[in-house]
Amino acid sequence: MSTTHYRTNAQIQAKEVRLLREDGTQVGVVAREEALSQAKTAGVDAVEIAPLAVPPVVKLIDYKKFQYQLSKKERAAKSTQKKVDLKEIRLTPFMAENDFSVKINRGREFLTDGHKLRVAVKFVGRQLGHKEFGDKIMQRAFQLLSDISAVDQQPKWFGRQYIATLSPIKNAKTKN
């Protein structure tokens, strides 16, 4: 439901208003009482749709129908918006080549779907003694995904993880 409140009928405060019919044709500038009487004879409401205009614009329409149409427009606008999620792939510094390529392909799918991608290299135990391998695997991941993504956040250490964020490039062509 729309959060905007529209003044209707007796709530309209301006002495003169620009009056529109239901089909959008303009009647002209009339007194408020004249607009209210025309609304009453037509069996509809006088709704102030542009209160900041000089004089304010009032339309003769069924208010409930007007609210329904506004909510319908809002739902349509909301459905066209795409929610961008943050997806994650987890790598290890000494992972097998096939495992690495499977994870990179999964990351590629996330990026082509329009999601942001967090690449995390997780270190366990003695692996922390060789942090340089984390940077090597991260740079390799960046290189393989560079055609469809850009680095949002450079790699940083968070505890035992080396984490970076990638975002999809618009108009990028996917490799198949």
- Asked, for residue 25, whether it belongs to a domain, the answer is yes
Q: Kindly report, residue by residue over 97-138, the tens digit of the pLDDT.
A: 999 999 999 999 999 988 999 999 999 988 888 888 889 999
CA 145 to chain centre: 25
Under 8 Å between Cβ of 30 and 21: no
Q: Report the predicted TM-score, pTM, of the whole model to 2 decimal places.
A: 0.53
| Domains: count for the chain | 2
The sign of the dihedral angle between the CA atoms of 144, 150, 155, 161 is: negative
Under 8 Å between Cβ of 164 and 151: yes
Of all residues in the chain, what percent carry a pLDDT higher than 90? 37
| Amino acid at position 8, single letter | T
The last residue of one of the domains, among 33, 53, 78, is 78
The verdict on 90 and 127 lying in the same domain is yes
